[in-house]
Structure 1
Amino acid sequence: MAVSRPLWADVERRPASLRHVGRVDPVDARTFAWQLSLPGVDEVFVAEPTEVVPEERIARRTTEGVRHAGVVTFHRLSDAENRVTLRTEYEPKGLVEHLGALTNLDATLADYDLGEFRRTAEHEAGHR
């Protein structure tokens, strides 16, 4: 029986739990090519982890394509409850990205995807 990696650690499975991520393909052992499908914009970038603390924190930055950096942290609140936080920093390029930043659409889409991630993680936890 194969042991599955936790959802947070399995980059290639993220498109199944994040609606706006079209694909994630490994480039090498450390970097992954991401394809995002956002309203009015499709983005492609290559990212690498800059810090990984299992079950606590994953930080990453882009090395090619759209420039941004981010960190996701996992906080255990109890045996049945966790908090996941996401922080992403980027400089909007072009009209669509500037409008997304001004109207908080970027934050809304990130919140939506975090909700999808939560539902997927809860579903997997319920089937163990």
Structure 2
Amino acid sequence: MSTTVTAGTEVDVPVRTAYDQWTQFESFPHFMGGVESVRQLDDTTTHWIVSIAGVKREFDADISDQVPDDHVAWRSTTAEVSHRGRVNFRQVSPDRTRIDLTIEWEPEGFVEKAGAALQLDDAQVKRDLHRFKEYIEKRQTESGAWRGEVHGGQETSAGAGGPTAGTAGYGYGGTVAPGSTNPPTSDGIVGSDPDLRA
């Protein structure tokens, strides 16, 4: 049975700054608990190593849909890890941004299923969003940017910052979780793409 976690926060930076920083997937270990490393393989593919409650997972994730300053959707491509998610960005004011995150995964094994049952994954996602808020508000500027668009898993426009962006998806509940530069698709959860609807 799949588990879905949603969380949201507001950050005191412009929407472009928040979005651009989120697309720097390799910076995720700075604010995402359990994420050991994220390596950007190309504009739409990332490789994750996560460790949650002593369970280590390694997987690839693809950005399925992405629109600058609006959303990033992703999904895992590794058979052993079933995970997908979407992060949406909305300007509240010129210097404040609303971030809403939805993650869905399939817990495996006793430790992951127990964590999901106890809602430990919900707490982890909320902590990670809070850490992202602290991280970007302290910096007040993004560490890089990727302004390309992705639809149906295919890049449709070049990013102004080059291939330094990423996608979202990291390990929650021993699986994958959120956070990066490329967008998700829609399949009923969040957004306008076939993997996630917002």
- Corresponding residue number in structure 2 for 1:120: 135
Is 1:111–2:111 an aligned residue pair?
A: no
Q: Quick one: distance in 1 between partners of 2:34 and 2:68?
A: 25
Q: Between the two proteins, what is the percent identity of the paired residues?
A: 32
Q: CA deviation at 1:126?
A: 7.0
Q: Quick one: distance in 2 between partners of 1:85 and 1:43?
A: 25
| Structure 1, unpaired ranges of 5+ | none
TM-score normalised over the length of structure 1? 0.87
Q: Quick one: distance in 2 between partners of 1:15 and 1:121?
A: 14
- Corresponding residue number in structure 2 for 1:70: 85
- Corresponding residue number in structure 2 for 1:10: 24
Higher helix share: 1
1:50 to 64, 81, 86: 64
Higher strand share: 1
| Structure 2, unpaired ranges of 5+ | 1-16, 143-198
Aligned length: 124
- Corresponding residue number in structure 1 for 2:103: 88
Q: Quick one: distance in 2 between partners of 1:80 and 1:86?
A: 20
TM-score normalised over the length of structure 2? 0.58
1:102 to 102, 117, 126: 117
Closer/same/farther in 2, CA of residues 126 and 12 from structure 1, 3 Å limit: closer
Q: CA deviation at 1:67?
A: 1.1
Is 1:61–2:66 an aligned residue pair?
A: no
Q: Is the 8 A contact 2:33 2:124 kept in 1?
A: no
Letter in 1 for 2:140: A
Letter in 2 for 1:15: P
CA-atom RMSD in angstroms: 2.0
